[in-house]
Amino acid sequence: MQTTSLDYVYVLLVDPEPSDYLQIFGADQPYAIRWRVHQNGEDVMASAELAGVDLCLINTQLPDMTGVELYHAINRRLGSVPVVLVADRYCREEELSVLDVGALHFVCKPITPSFVDKLVQQQLAKLAQQPPVLVGELNSIRSASPSSHGPIDELPPMTNISDLGVDQ
């Protein structure tokens, strides 16, 4: 894995069933992932926590919108952010439509820790190739932002990871 000056990768997870990701939250990784978990698109778009997002995992069927709609809303707000759209069940038509809009990947549950590891490594490598000034600015934004969060055991109570049964 290439190393960067980034201290962590900020991953936004949007899924009405975040408990489906418990094995990922508890997995050991050689880098820090800062998770921000939401169960619907409206909460994500109302949040000030989007700045600095490195990677998004978004369910294709959210209670209030589709994953593709949220993908477009996030990219309108932030510019190009790598998004993996996650389906509960495989559907060929959905896969084609998701890839057609420009998502990084289309995957079906269950998602394994090794898949997330590969995504994060790809993102770290991509960030490492950016000019150091941009990476430094990103770290400055993160450290100055009141919405910057630590590893999963440091997430604020509103995430309710403890309610999902993750050992802290």
Would you say residue 70 has pLDDT above 50? yes
pLDDT of 10 reads 87
The CATH architecture annotation of domain 8-144 reads: 3-Layer(aba) Sandwich (3.40)
Residue type, 32: A
Closest CA to 97 of 60, 65, 42, 70: 60
DSSP string, 136-161: HHHHHHHHH-TT---SGGGS-GGG-T
Q: What is the DSSP letter of 19?
A: G
Instruction: Convert the pLDDT of each residue in 87-130 to its tens digit.
Output: 999 999 989 888 889 888 999 999 888 888 888 888 777 777 76
Smallest CA-to-CA distance from 83 within 91, 75, 92 is with 75
Distance CA 36, CA 44 (A): 9
Q: Is the pTM of this model over 0.75?
A: no
User: Domain segments of the chain: what residues?
Assistant: 8-144
